[in-house]
Each structure stands twice: as C-alpha cells, then as structure tokens.
C-alpha cells in the first residue's frame, strides 16, 4: 500500500472511523440484489485520509465480507 494519495499524491494519514452517535466502528452493509432486506454488516477496521485533499479510504476484512455474502440463502 502506498503512503501517497491515489488522487493528488499527498501524504496519507493512518486512522480509523467511528460514528459520532455510538462507540462502535462504522459498518459496511452489503446491498446486492439478494441482500436488499438482509442486514449483512462488516466492520470497517481501518481508514486512511489524505492530508492534502481529504480523500478517504476505508478498509474491512475481505474474508469476513465474503463469508457473510456467501452465507445468505439463495
């Protein structure tokens, strides 16, 4: 992973994200065609922000996401 922003080549700062209303990290909700009515959340565990332009990257555990998406009924 590069230390430079993919948009402006500025320096990226490592961090995390939390909701202002709860102490828990943000969650990603998968909204594929079969998942419209199911709440399949995966925690966002890492974030990076550009100190120059404000570009934000969020990361989650891809294996957990794959398990959640595959676990849903057809």
Domain-wise residue ranges, the chain: 12-70
* Pairwise CA distance, residues 43 & 57, whole Å: 14
Give the residue-averaged pLDDT of 47-51: 96
What is the model's pTM? 0.68
Model confidence band, residue 37 (pLDDT cutoffs 50, 70, 90): low
- Whether 48 and 57 have beta carbons less than 8 Å apart is answered as yes
pLDDT at position 73, please? Answer: 55
């Amino acid at each position: 992973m590069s230390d430079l922003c993919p948009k402006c080549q500025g320096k990226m700062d490592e961090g995390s994200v939390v909701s202002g209303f709860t102490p828990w990290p943000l969650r990603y909700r998968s909204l594929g065609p079969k998942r419209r009515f199911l709440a399949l959340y995966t925690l966002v565990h890492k974030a990076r922000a550009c100190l120059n332009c404000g570009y934000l990257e969020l990361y989650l555990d891809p294996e957990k996401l794959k398990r959640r998406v595959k676990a849903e009924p057809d």
